[in-house]
Amino acid sequence: MGSKSAINLQDSFLNQIRKDNVLATVYLVNGFQLKGHVKAFDSYTVLLESEGKQMLIYKHAISTVSPLRSVNFSVQRDRGADADTLDDDIAED
């Protein structure tokens, strides 16, 4: 991007559906669909829980994350190593 601070929309969105425990459908690039709750995520993976089972999904395999209801979230700016985190518990509940 042209500016020094980029908007970290992906983390804001995933963190809010995780915190609100919103059921989501995760569409993979191969067309497969997974439904569950986002329990944790990092730069490369998303941990989805469905029917008592956990699935670690690599982000490069994800096409779309569609929550079953709308979520309200604020957009945080990422300033590299000096960035403020969204929450201390962004990666885990």
State the pLDDT at residue 76: 63
Query: Closest by alpha carbon to 16, among 73, 90, 86, 92?
Result: 73
Which pLDDT tens digit goes with each residue over 67-89? 999 998 777 666 554 444 444 44
Q: Is the pTM of this model over 0.85?
A: no
State the pLDDT at residue 83: 43
Q: What is the CATH number of domain 7-69?
A: 2.30.30.100
- SS3 state at 11: helix
Can you tell me the mean pLDDT for 28-41?
A: 98
Contact 77, 8 (CB under 8 A): yes
